[in-house]
Amino acid sequence: MLLATLAIITATAIAFVVTATPPDRPMVRTTGEATVGGPFSMVDHNGVPVTEESFKGKVLVLYFGFTYCPDVCPTQLLALSDALERLGDKGSDVAPVFVSVDPERDTPEVLKDYVTNFHPSMVGLTGSVEQVAAMADAFYVTYYKVKNVDTAAEYLMDHTSIVYVMGRDGKYLTHFTHATPPKQMAETLKQFL
């Protein structure tokens, strides 16, 4: 009884702010077409407003995370950077984009320092809490604040960790996970370039 109570208290303490809930729509239409993605309105790391139209004509590689992330985001962005290097000149047709799920701390200035450290062509996106929530929802990305007891950061974000690949027309092509080696990412991306 005591243990069960403790478990409930702990669970409540950890997930203390839920900022996004899983979308309840299917990820694939009855036609077989994926429903991932769609219009979005955000601000890039130079403070310039951008939409999905800003990336048309490029293969968009999207990853959602936050700059305070201690390990998952840096590991994934390093892998992505490695994949981009493997593409050589062809990589210029790829737009690697890091979307913040922590807009309260990830200002354009913070994002600029962060993304350009991983790759010169990487673009950071942020926006209002509502803009970020809408874009994350379109990509089935969920995230929530988790109270942090280990480091100086007040909170961390628990978030979906998937790399989405969107075609030149903005439509979903495929995705990568933490288990996809950079070499395989590069080979897959090459097919779309």
Q: Based on the shown chain and the rule CB under 5 A, indicate whether residue 124 belongs to the binding site for Ni ion.
A: no
Stretch that binds Ni ion, among 28-36, 57-65, 137-145, 167-175 (CB under 5 A): 57-65
123, 80 contact by CB (below 8 A): no
Q: Based on the shown chain and the rule CB under 5 A, indicate whether residue 79 belongs to the binding site for Ni ion.
A: no
The correct pick among 65, 96, 103, 127 for binding Ni ion (CB under 5 A) is: 65
Q: In whole angstroms, give the CA distance from residue 10 to residue 151.
A: 19
- The least distance separating Ni ion from the CB of residue 190, rounded to whole angstroms, comes to 27
Q: Based on the shown chain and the rule CB under 5 A, indicate whether residue 36 belongs to the binding site for Ni ion.
A: no
Phi/psi at 69 (nearest 5 deg)? -60, 125
Angle between helices 72-87 and 108-118 (to 10 degrees): 50
Stretch that binds Ni ion, among 34-42, 72-80, 82-90, 148-156 (CB under 5 A): 72-80
Q: Based on the shown chain and the rule CB under 5 A, indicate whether residue 146 belongs to the binding site for Ni ion.
A: no
The strand pairing partners of 49, in sequence order, are 43
Stretch that binds Ni ion, among 8-16, 19-27, 59-67, 136-144 (CB under 5 A): 59-67
The correct pick among 36, 60, 73, 136 for binding Ni ion (CB under 5 A) is: 73
Edge to edge, the sheet with strand 94-100 lists 49-51, 41-44, 123-126, 94-100, 59-65, 163-166, 172-176
Stretch that binds Ni ion, among 18-26, 67-75, 95-103, 124-132 (CB under 5 A): 67-75
Nearer CB in complex with Ni ion: 59/73: 73
The first and second tokens of residue 162, run together, are: 């998937």
DSSP 49-60: EEEGGGGTTSEE
C-alpha distances in Å from residue 94, one per residue of 75, 84, 151: 19, 8, 35
Q: Based on the shown chain and the rule CB under 5 A, indicate whether residue 72 belongs to the binding site for Ni ion.
A: yes
Q: Based on the shown chain and the rule CB under 5 A, indicate whether residue 69 belongs to the binding site for Ni ion.
A: yes
Residues forming contacts to Ni ion in the complex (CB under 5 A) are 65, 69, 72-73
